[in-house]
Copies of this chain bind each other. A is one copy, B any other.
Amino acid sequence: MNAETILKDHLLKIIDLNDEQFSYVFSHFKPMSFKKGQVIIAEGDKVSCEYFVTAGCLKSFYINDDLKMFILQFAMPGWWASDYNALYNDIKATISVDCITDAEVLCISNADREKLCSEIHAVEHFFRWRTNKGYVAAQKRLLLFMNNDAKHRYEELLNTYPQLYNIVSKQLIAAYLGVSRETLSRLYHG
């Protein structure tokens, strides 16, 4: 399935757009290809775009002062990624985004998204819906962190993203769970 179709399906699941409207919306997205390991947003960058994944897998992550990495999100096809704090507030990136595998994305600038949102009410509705989803998911994850130990978080991850386990290295899984790679290793052996 090509990138355009993936985006179209994604939007039409939530809102109604006729062909002409969708073409207009789509014309604001720029297809881009990346190789495994390539960095899309680096810490300190000016962030002007967000990315809709159509193939492959990205991660968004934060690196602290001790160079320890924390993964906020894995982005598979049909998911969006960026440093939203930087994007919305026009500040430098603190969150980075890079490619876990070769990847294809559709890139849209913040300015173009805002333009489309103000021109087409349905598009604004779509983005409100999408952010609602993200907000609820972030809250759930926060509770998961506060409430559960590493073992429970690990089991939850297996249930929620069984595919991920084969694609992604254990180190990255550990960085997503917020435990050391040693502890993760001990969770599913010993």
Contact = CB atoms under 8 A, between A and B. Distances in A.
A118 B125 contact: yes
Copies of this chain, tallied across the complex: 2
A131 interface: yes
Nearest to A176: B146
Interface in A135-168: 135-136, 138-143, 145-147
A79 interface: no
Contacts of A140: 85
A22 interface: no
Contacts of A121: 118, 121, 124
Contact of A147 (B64, B85, B88, B118): B64
A70 interface: yes
Contacts of A135: 84, 131, 134-135, 138
Given A145-B142, A146-B70, A132 B178 contact: no
A127 interface: yes
Given A125-B117, A131-B131, A146-B70, A139 B178 contact: no
Interface in A65-87: 68, 70, 72, 84-85
A178 B105 CA distance: 37
A115 interface: no
Interface of A: 62, 64, 68, 70, 72, 84-85, 88-89, 117-118, 121, 124-125, 127-128, 131-132, 134-136, 138-143, 145-147, 178
Give 7 closest A-B pairs by Cβ, nearest first: A138-B138, A128-B128, A146-B178, A135-B135, A131-B131, A70-B146, A85-B136
